[in-house]
Amino acid sequence: MQLHSISAADENILITNGSQNSLQLIFQEFVNKKDVVAVESPTYSMLIPLIKFLDIKVIEVPFSDDGMDVGFLEKIMKKQRISMIYTMPTFHNPTGITMSQAKREKLLQLCEQNSTIIVEDSFEEEMKYFGKAHLPIKSMDSKGIVIYLSSFSKVMSPGLRTGWIIAHKECIARLTSLKTVLDLSSNSLSQAILFHYCNSGSYELHIRKLMRVFRKRMKTALTSLKKHIPNDKASWVDPLGGFLIWLNIKTNNEINLEDHFLKYGVMVSNGNSLYFNPKSNNQIRISIAKNNENEIEEGIARIGKGISDL
């Protein structure tokens, strides 16, 4: 965390069973049914069933090329009380967009003025390939209103089920009490393995290798998009890091995108599933996580052919 300018003592850290467990604890402990939570639109797919299960009221905040529309959020906060804001400011899921530094500072200022909790999910913080570094919102948090989440799932292995929360010590104490009731503790064996792995210096070597591999994949993906996707029929924002690219397809046709692209040998997920209230826009998320450079170019070429034929 020191690499990201976040300082934390033992009393500021809670080890969890991955980010989903972190979100469950936070929402159960700090949000009531009468409260209103703001989330980016689109957002992390597994947040949607969790919030619906907890029956929490949600306001969707539109997204632009440099992150959450903080101006829209400010107007909402003048009209009603927002208890919590969930954001992925760095390599956002699903868009891959990174929130600008100015917006991070404005969002923190707004939430300080309104005593609103910020939940900052930084699941891919280490995976930066291009451009200047952006400070996590938590690194600027002097009033203890930011709850920071991360995990080893994306940079190591989802099966380890090891994540963490960094927050004010009173917040951590409350979350620890709830976690003890729900599942006693996190996997000690996974933590011991990770401790020895990190302590030996292997984690730093792994991250450097990971960066080399995925930087090449992302460059291939972005080059392939420019080569194969007709720019009059689709648009996207080049990510600064992470695994994801969000493709906005410009068409007036109401079609089933999953069925359409399957005809071209590509399996995609309709972006509508990443909104609390599905949109009429045709959007798909591209991931470079599981494919090599040749597969990435071939897949994007097929997507381009499918878009051209719409």
Task: Determine the Cα–Cα distance for residues 124 and 208; give it in Å rounded to an integer.
Answer: 14
Strand bridging mode 282-287 / 163-166: unpaired
Domain ranges, residue 295: 204-308
Residue 160 confidence class, pLDDT cut points 50, 70, 90 = confident
- What is the structure's pLDDT at 186? 87
Mean pLDDT of 115-134: 91
- What is the structure's pLDDT at 4? 67
Task: Determine the Cα–Cα distance for residues 202 and 180; give it in Å rounded to an integer.
Answer: 31
The conformation of residue 241, written as its DSSP 8-state character, comes to: B
What digits encode the pLDDT tens for the residues 66-108? 999 999 999 999 999 999 999 999 999 999 999 999 999 999 9
Of 1 and 38, more confident = 38
Query: Does one domain contain both 238 and 127?
Result: no
- What is the structure's pLDDT at 126? 86
The yes-or-no verdict on residue 1 having pLDDT over 70 is no
Angle at 144 between CA 138 and CA 146, to 5 degrees: 40
- What is the structure's pLDDT at 278? 80
Mean pLDDT of 197-207: 93
Question: 103, 98, 104, 83: which is closest to 26 by C-alpha?
Answer: 83
Residue 280 confidence class, pLDDT cut points 50, 70, 90 = low
Q: How many domains, in total, are found in the chain?
A: 2
Which element (helix H / strand E) includes 58?
strand 57-64
Q: Name, in order, each residue with C-beta under 8 angstroms of 4's C-beta and a sequence gap of 6 or more.
A: 122, 125, 135, 136, 139
- What is the structure's pLDDT at 145? 97
The two tokens of residue 293 are: 């450079």
Residue 252 confidence class, pLDDT cut points 50, 70, 90 = confident
Beta bridge partners of 270: 284
Mean pLDDT of 124-141: 90
Note whether 76 and 82 are within 8 A (CB). Answer: yes
The yes-or-no verdict on residue 37 having pLDDT over 90 is yes
The SS3 call for residue 217 is: helix
Q: Name, in order, each residue with C-beta under 8 angstroms of 266's C-beta and a sequence gap of 6 or more.
A: 299, 302, 303, 306
The yes-or-no verdict on residue 262 having pLDDT over 80 is yes
Query: Does one domain contain both 271 and 188?
Result: no
Report CA 274 to chain centroid distance, whole Å. 12
The yes-or-no verdict on residue 14 having pLDDT over 80 is yes
Residue 2 confidence class, pLDDT cut points 50, 70, 90 = low
What digits encode the pLDDT tens for the residues 220-238? 999 999 999 998 999 999 9
Query: Does one domain contain both 58 and 94?
Result: yes
Residue 62 confidence class, pLDDT cut points 50, 70, 90 = very high
Whole-model pTM? Answer: 0.94
The yes-or-no verdict on residue 310 having pLDDT over 90 is no
Of 88 and 159, more confident = 88
Note whether 94 and 42 are within 8 A (CB). Answer: yes
Query: Does one domain contain both 209 and 98?
Result: no
State what percent of residues in the chain have pLDDT above 70: 98
State the CATH number of the domain containing residue 221: 3.90.1150.10
Query: Does one domain contain both 209 and 191?
Result: no
Question: 242, 7, 55, 19: which is closest to 131 by C-alpha?
Answer: 242
Note whether 162 and 151 are within 8 A (CB). Answer: yes
Give the N- to C-terminal CA distance of the chain in Å, as an integer. Answer: 46
Mean pLDDT of 140-146: 95
The SS3 call for residue 67 is: strand
Query: Does one domain contain both 166 and 249?
Result: no
Task: Determine the Cα–Cα distance for residues 138 and 140; give it in Å rounded to an integer.
Answer: 5
DSSP 183-196: HSS--HHHHHHHHH
The SS3 call for residue 48 is: helix
Query: Does one domain contain both 223 and 300?
Result: yes
- What is the structure's pLDDT at 101? 94
State the CATH number of the domain containing residue 171: 3.40.640.10
Query: Does one domain contain both 191 and 44?
Result: yes
The SS3 call for residue 165 is: strand
CB atoms within 10 A of CB 34: 9
What digits encode the pLDDT tens for the residues 288-299? 999 999 999 999
Query: Does one domain contain both 53 and 133?
Result: yes
The two tokens of residue 160 are: 């380890």
- What is the structure's pLDDT at 296? 97
- What is the structure's pLDDT at 90? 95
